[in-house]
């Protein structure tokens, strides 16, 4: 009951015209930022941070949070329309979303993603409101061994993505892991595989790699034929761009599962949203009656991961607001911003600054409503992008990739990296090597390695550390089961047939 | 189609040629008038939101509000390479007094471990503007009560206490200094950043950790963690109940030094103007209230010459510790 | 196709060999705990091993060309122009390069009315200028033209 009265008070704060306006501006800017290939939520929040100086902390934070989850919505647009993920958590969306767009179902994919994101975002905020303290304690139980086990579970989920040849999938994963080791080693600070380049000291960022492997490589595939992409343009008429009841029926369970999964994983400080999105994808593929539809435009493959990554962005606010520790790269920047405004995020934030916390939470409800309206109403105009003649659209994609990647760190080196990975991605695509495992391994590789070495450091070298903790032991057992599932299933079938 | 390609290439080659020619002719003529006659870039070699960024933006704000300099300071973030990208950018602007940069610990550590060509010698020191202290922290319900007891238990069983930190940065140095003075050995567990260390400490995954007072205050006030000592010269005004390591019998004094540098070879006059500006800044109440007090930074102003000496001394400290640790040869 | 498959795997082997040599110089094991060299070393070894396996067991269709000649030309020209444009950015500045690239590419790919192409080449850099320089405050590289 107290929560509800607090929330009412929060709405009173969030509905003050300046705060309402800053929420609107925030989500609108976030959508644009997210829709630009290259600049994802964390770079977007960092770049727009100076805009909020001078505002009071609540107003400023409402805007920053709006940019954050607005960018999570917006990231879907480029993934679906031009196969270019703007952040690591929408990599999974490209797999089926882009295929749907090529079948003339871009509007349906975007619509389902927006609805799923809305559901996930609102549910995430509700969970955040009622269970924050509890969840914060849960997040703290995760130490290095637990993170290692979670990463292992994530990587076994990757196995389902490797397409036709498991060998090629594994090679792709290894490449990603190897690229993840480039740069200063977290544990010792020694530089690895940098070959004397200063730019490589901070490692190879996900964005240039993803934009190259997905965006640029797809452009190169597109220019092969004089006509460009083969997109079914007949179905772009207004009546057909929105999702129908049948689509919704197909997606509602993936959305619910994705939201829950996303929120729980998002609460854990670290690579929450990304892991959440691809565990959700793997889960939906496992549960589907015809898993072979995945990768060819299955709507569940968009609904699940998109809900998961939005719920995770709400989840990532839990450690920030309740513990004063950042849950993701973006919330780390927001925490810095809070300190600049003179608010000190910590365990006492809820009691010392109720206006701020509840105002922010209430504004997230409002922001989610604004976003779902905005995104659904804009679908017809977004879809028009596909009508641009490909001789213009393809170079335009390259241009936006280049400028976006440059804007990340103001560095041309990143642009060169992107072009290199574009060529690599083109070769991989032509030779039937899956690229998604490379990107995901790159995102999660550092955490996997660091957690592994940290755990062994903590136990002074004893590998038993992974099995002594209940959470990590459970997660590792689960990964083993997931890994062996196809084998067990066929064994079971064989037995069943044998006894008959 | 090849004809089209040829046409486009010819245009590009022509443009390229014109570009090279006019690039050569570009003259770098600047008139001599009172410095500064245009805005000054304040380079932060890290992303927005970090400690250096907070400092830089506060400086820029107060300089403008109090009209200390006739021209504004523009904060420019150049993250990457453990600060190396930003500092290299600034150092390469030799003789240009319109670029200055913030100094924090990686200013010394990255050149030492990475042998990057740009180090403290590549800059003109301008001013030292504050010291960030280090608190030794335990979880609130930890069995550790004070430093003496902690050292005793560490001596009884070497490497039994887990110390969280961030690999080669300041907390590694102060850990190593304490280990040496107390004759003990911690099990040092490195994390990616200060936030991760704090999370690990709160979750009980490590026993001890260092943090700046500003980082730890919220957690201390919430009684989630407890400071058992500070590595400062005297007790910190905000934590009068927390003894220094010196009081506990271990001669360890270590602070993170924050300051400002400019490229080499800038006019003597510009150094004076900047030094005076930062001296004035450090005396304003806005600076004391909005930066020092809020972030619990110990005030200590140093002019160009003193700061230059401090830069060198600091480099020696890092060098010795890193040699002991085997990080460098 | 057979040659492309072979070359790509040889490239992977080369990559693995380079990383392996670099990883050899890093500390592999220290005080009972894997050091910085542990992961890169094993990863490059495994990469080499798996690539070798796929090289030996893979059935690469012979005779099927990687791409038909006109497509090869289009892909090569697009990649070449993109590389060239990126090389030009520091000299010419980001915005002029974008304009030229858009005009050049749509000209080469064909099928767009000349007026539409030129208008795009003019308006997109202006749009990008407002979006990035003015609104987001990202300073784009400036060439000798001064913009």
Write the CATH number for B100.
Answer: 3.40.190.150
| Segments of chain B assigned E as strands | 40-44, 73-77, 99-103, 123-132, 135-139, 162-165, 187-190, 208-211, 225-230, 256-263
- Number of structural domains found in chain A: 1
Which tokens hold the place of A438?
């490379």
Distances (CA, A) of C64 to A107, A218, C3, C61, C68: 37, 22, 10, 6, 9
Number of separate domains in chain B: 2
Those chains having 3 or more beta-carbon pairs within 8 angstroms of chain C are A, B
Model pLDDT, residue B21:
47
pLDDT on residue B31: 44
The chains found to touch A (3+ Cβ pairs under 8 angstroms) are: B, C
Instruction: Round to the nearest angstrom and report the end-to-end CA distance of chain C.
Output: 45
- Pairing of β B135-139 and β B208-211: antiparallel
β-pairing, B187-190 vs B40-44, is unpaired
> Does one domain contain both B51 and B126?
yes
* Rounded Cα distance, B314 and B39, in Å: 31
- Select from A500, A489, A458, A488 the least CA-distant residue to A146: A458
Q: Please give the full DSSP string across B71-127, using - where no structure is assigned.
A: S-EEEEE---GGGHHHHHHHHTSTT-TTEEEEE-THHHHHHHHH--S--GGGEEEEE
Cis status of the peptide bond prior to B36, with omega within 30 of 0: yes
Question: What range defines the domain where residue B55 resides?
Answer: 40-131+256-325
Instruction: Please give the structure tokens belonging to residue B230.
Output: 């500070």
Q: Name, in order, each residue with C-beta under 8 angstroms of C100's C-beta and a sequence gap of 6 or more.
A: B11, B12, B15, C85, C88, C92, C121
Q: Which residues of chain B does C100 touch, with a Cβ-Cβ cutoff of 8 Å?
A: 11-12, 15
Determine whether the interchain pair A402/C86 forms a contact, defined as Cβ–Cβ distance below 8 Å: yes
Residue A185 sits at the chain C interface (C-beta within 8 Å) = yes
DSSP A299-344: THHHHHHHHHHHHHHHHTHHIIIIIS--SSHHHHHHHHHHHHHT--
| Residue B180 vs residues B173, B210, B308, B325: alpha-carbon distances, Å | 11, 17, 28, 11
Phi first, then psi, for residue A283 (nearest 5°) are: -65, -50
Query: Which residues of chain A neighbour C98 with C-beta distances below 8 Å?
Result: 399, 402-403
Give chain A's radius of gyration (CA, Å).
22
SS3 of residue C25 by DSSP? coil
The answer for residues whose C-beta is within 8 angstroms of residue B262's C-beta and 6 or more apart is B90, B97, B99, B100, B101, B123, B124, B126, B270, B271, B274
* CATH code for position B198: 3.40.190.10
* Cβ count within 10 A of residue B253: 17
Q: Do A188 and B81 touch (CB under 8 A)?
A: no
- B77 in Cβ contact with B44 (< 8 Å): yes
Helix or strand (DSSP H, E) at A77: helix A57-82
Give kind and range of the element (H or E) at residue A211.
none
Is C73 part of the contact surface with chain B (CB cutoff 8 Å)?
A: yes
In this predicted model, what pLDDT tens digit does every residue of A417-471 receive, in sequence order?
999 999 999 999 999 898 989 998 998 898 899 999 999 999 999 999 999 989 9
**B317 in the same domain as B303:** yes
Joined together, the tokens standing for residue A252 give 């509602």
Tell me the three state secondary structure of residue B261: strand
By the 10 Å C-beta count (0-12 exposed, 13-18 middle, 19+ buried), B147 is classed as buried
Q: Subunits with at least 3 CB pairs below 8 A relative to chain B? A: A, C
Residue A228 Cα, gap to closest chain B Cα (Å): 16
The alpha carbon of residue A48 and the mean position of all alpha carbons in its chain are separated, in whole angstroms, by 20
Do the beta carbons of residue A116 and residue A248 sit within 8 Å?
Answer: no
B70 and B212 co-located in one domain: no
C-alpha torsion sign, points A406, C77, A82, A165 = negative
A324 touches chain B (CB under 8 A): yes
Distance CA A343, CA A340 (A): 7
Window 369-408 of A: residues touching B by CB (8 A cutoff) are: none
Sign of the torsion angle spanned by Cα atoms A427, A430, A431, A437: positive
> Which H helix or E strand runs over C34?
strand C33-34
Residues of C in contact with B11 (CB under 8 A): 100, 104
Average pLDDT in the C60-87 region?
86
How far A96 CA sits from the closest chain C CA (Å)?
A: 25
Give me the pLDDT at residue B30, please: 43
Q: What is the pLDDT of residue B64?
A: 86
B273 SS3 class: helix
Rounded (10°) angle between helices A272-287 and A436-458: 120
d(C-alpha A490, C-alpha A28), whole Å: 50
Among candidate residues B230, B265, B295, the one where a domain is terminated: B230
Across the interface, which of A46, A319, A324 has its CB nearest the CB of B219? Answer: A324
**C113-135 tens-digit pLDDT:** 889 999 999 999 999 999 888 88
- C-alpha distances (whole Å) from B147 to each of A89, A300, B166 are 45, 57, 21
pLDDT value at position B287?
92
Instruction: Identify all chain C residues contacting B1, using CB atoms and an 8 Å cutoff.
Output: 73, 77, 108, 110
What pLDDT is recorded for position C103? Answer: 94
Partners of C76 on chain B (C-beta within 8 Å) are none
Q: How far is CA B262 from CA B90, B125, B178, in A?
A: 7, 6, 34
Tens-of-pLDDT digits for all 329 residues of chain B? 556 666 666 665 555 555 444 444 443 434 456 888 888 999 998 877 678 888 898 898 899 888 999 988 888 888 777 788 889 889 988 999 999 999 988 899 888 887 778 899 999 999 999 999 999 999 999 999 999 999 999 999 999 999 998 876 788 889 999 999 999 999 999 988 788 898 899 999 999 999 999 888 889 999 999 999 999 999 998 999 999 999 999 999 999 889 999 999 999 999 999 999 999 999 999 999 888 988 889 999 999 999 999 999 999 989 998 888 877 87
CB neighbour list of residue B198: distance below 8 Å, 6 or more residues apart: A324, A325, B209, B211, B215, B216, B219
Query: Residue B46, class by beta-carbon neighbours within 10 Å (0-12 exposed, 13-18 middle, 19+ buried)?
Result: buried
Integer angstrom CA distances of residue B190 from A193, B162, B164, C125, C146: 20, 10, 6, 46, 47
CB contact under 8 A, B205 and A460: no
**Residue range(s) defining the domain that contains residue A427:** 2-457
- Shortest distance between the Cα of B64 and any Cα of chain C, in A, equals 20
What's the CA gap between C26 and C37, in Å, rounded?
5
Low-confidence ranges of chain A (pLDDT < 50): none
- Residue ending a domain, among B195, B230, B265, is B230
Question: Rounded to 5 degrees, what are φ and ψ at B201?
Answer: -70, -45
User: Distance between CA atoms of B256 and B244, rounded to whole angstroms?
Assistant: 16
What pLDDT, on a 0 to 100 scale, did the predictor assign at position B25? 43
Domain check: are B107 and B150 in the same one?
A: no
A401 occurs within a structural domain:
yes
**What pLDDT score was predicted for residue B12?**
56
**Residue B305 tokens, joined:** 């010459």
CA B130 from centroid of its chain's CA atoms: 11
């Amino acid at each position: 009951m107290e929560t509800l009265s607090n929330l009412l008070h929060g709405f009173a704060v969030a509905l003050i015209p300046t705060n309402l306006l800053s929420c609107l501006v925030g989500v609108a800017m976030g959508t644009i930022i997210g829709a630009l290939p290259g600049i994802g939520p964390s770079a977007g929040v960092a770049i727009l941070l100076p805009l909020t100086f001078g505002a009071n902390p609540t107003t400023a934070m409402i805007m920053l949070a709006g940019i954050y989850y607005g960018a999570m919505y917006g990231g879907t647009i480029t993934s679906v329309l031009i196969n270019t993920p703007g952040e690591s958590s929408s990599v999974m969306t490209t797999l089926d979303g882009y295929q749907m767009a090529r079948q003339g179902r871009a509007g349906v994919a975007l619509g389902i993603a927006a609805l799923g994101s809305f559901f996930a975002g609102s549910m995430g905020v509700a969970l955040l409101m009622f269970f924050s303290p509890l969840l914060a304690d849960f997040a703290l139980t995760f130490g290095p061994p637990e993170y290692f086990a979670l990463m292992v579970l994530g990587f076994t989920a990757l196995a389902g993505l490797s397409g036709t040849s498991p060998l090629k999938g594994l090679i792709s994963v290894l490449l990603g892991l190897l690229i993840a080791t480039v740069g200063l080693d977290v544990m010792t600070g020694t530089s690895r595989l940098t070959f004397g380049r200063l730019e490589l000291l901070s490692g190879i960022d996900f964005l240039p790699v993803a934009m190259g492997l997905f965006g640029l490589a797809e452009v190169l595939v597109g220019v092969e034929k004089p006509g460009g992409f083969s997109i079914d343009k007949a179905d772009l008429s207004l009546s057909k761009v929105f999702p129908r009841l049948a689509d919704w029926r197909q997606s509602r369970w993936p959305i619910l599962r994705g939201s829950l999964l996303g929120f729980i994983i998002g609460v854990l400080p670290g690579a929450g949203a990304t892991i959440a999105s691809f565990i959700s994808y793997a889960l939906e593929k496992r549960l589907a009656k015809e898993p072979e539809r995945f990768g060819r435009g299955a709507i569940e493959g968009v609904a699940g991961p998109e809900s998961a990554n939005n719920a995770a962005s709400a989840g990532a606010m839990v450690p920030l607001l309740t513990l004063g520790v950042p849950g993701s790269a973006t919330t780390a920047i927001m925490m810095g911003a809070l300190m600049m405004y003179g608010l000190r995020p910590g365990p006492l934030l809820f009691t010392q600054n109720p206006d701020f916390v509840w105002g922010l939470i209430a504004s997230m409800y409002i922001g989610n409503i604004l976003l779902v309206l905005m995104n659904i109403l804009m679908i017809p105009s977004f879809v028009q992008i596909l009508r641009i003649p490909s001789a213009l659209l393809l170079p335009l994609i390259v241009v936006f990739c280049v400028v976006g990647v440059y804007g990340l760190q103001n560095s041309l080196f990143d642009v060169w990296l992107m072009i290199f990975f574009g060529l690599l991605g083109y070769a991989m695509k032509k030779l039937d090597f899956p690229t998604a495992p490379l990107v995901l391994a790159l995102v999660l590789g550092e955490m996997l390695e660091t957690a592994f070495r940290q755990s062994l450091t903590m136990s002074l070298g004893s590998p038993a550390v992974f099995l002594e903790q209940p959470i990590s032991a459970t997660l590792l057992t689960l990964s083993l089961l997931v890994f062996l599932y196809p084998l067990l299933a066929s064994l079971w079938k064989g037995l069943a047939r044998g006894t008959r | 189609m090849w004809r089209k390609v040829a046409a486009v290439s010819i245009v590009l080659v022509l443009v390229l040629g014109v570009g090279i020619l006019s690039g050569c002719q570009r003259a770098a003529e600047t008139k001599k008038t009172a410095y500064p006659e245009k805005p000054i870039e304040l380079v932060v070699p890290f992303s927005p939101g970090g400690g250096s960024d907070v400092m830089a933006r506060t400086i820029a704000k107060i300089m403008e509000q109090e009209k200390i300099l006739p021209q504004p300071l523009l904060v420019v973030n150049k993250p990457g390479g453990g600060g190396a990208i930003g500092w290299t950018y600034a150092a390469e602007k030799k003789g240009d007094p319109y670029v200055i940069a913030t100094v924090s610990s990686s200013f010394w550590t990255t050149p030492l471990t990475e042998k990057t060509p740009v180090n403290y010698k590549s800059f003109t020191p301008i001013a030292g503007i504050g010291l960030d202290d280090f608190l030794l922290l335990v979880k609130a319900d930890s069995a550790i009560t004070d430093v003496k007891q902690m050292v005793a238990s560490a001596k009884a069983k070497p490497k039994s206490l887990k110390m969280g930190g961030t690999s080669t940065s300041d907390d590694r140095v102060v850990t190593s200094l304490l280990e040496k003075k107390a004759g003990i050995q911690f099990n040092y567990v490195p994390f990616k950043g200060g936030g991760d260390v704090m999370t690990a400490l709160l979750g009980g995954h490590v026993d001890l950790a260092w943090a700046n007072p500003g980082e730890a205050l919220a957690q201390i006030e919430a009684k989630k963690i407890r400071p058992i000592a500070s590595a400062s010269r005297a007790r910190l005004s905000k934590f009068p109940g927390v003894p220094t390591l010196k009081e506990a019998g271990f001669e360890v004094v270590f602070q993170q030094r924050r300051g400002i540098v400019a490229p080499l070879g800038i006019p003597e006059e510009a150094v004076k103007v900047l030094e005076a500006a930062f001296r004035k800044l450090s005396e304003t109440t806005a600076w004391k209230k909005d930066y020092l007090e809020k972030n619990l930074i110990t005030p200590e102003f140093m002019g160009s010459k003193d700061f230059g000496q401090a830069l060198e001394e600091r480099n020696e400290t890092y060098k010795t510790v890193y040699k002991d640790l085997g990080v460098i040869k | 196709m057979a040659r492309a498959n072979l070359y790509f795997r040889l490239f992977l082997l080369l990559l693995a060999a380079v990383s392996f040599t670099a990883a050899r110089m890093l500390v592999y094991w220290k005080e009972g705990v894997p050091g910085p060299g542990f992961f890169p070393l094993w990863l490059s070894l495994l990469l080499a091993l798996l690539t070798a396996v796929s090289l030996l067991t893979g059935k690469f269709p012979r005779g099927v060309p990687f791409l038909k000649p006109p497509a090869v030309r289009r892909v090569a020209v697009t990649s070449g122009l993109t590389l060239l444009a990126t090389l030009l950015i520091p000299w010419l500045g980001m915005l002029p390069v974008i304009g030229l690239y858009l005009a050049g590419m749509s000209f080469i790919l064909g099928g767009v009315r000349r007026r539409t192409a030129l208008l795009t080449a003019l308006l997109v850099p202006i749009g990008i200028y407002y979006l990035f320089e003015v609104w987001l405050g990202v300073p784009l590289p400036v060439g000798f033209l001064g913009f």
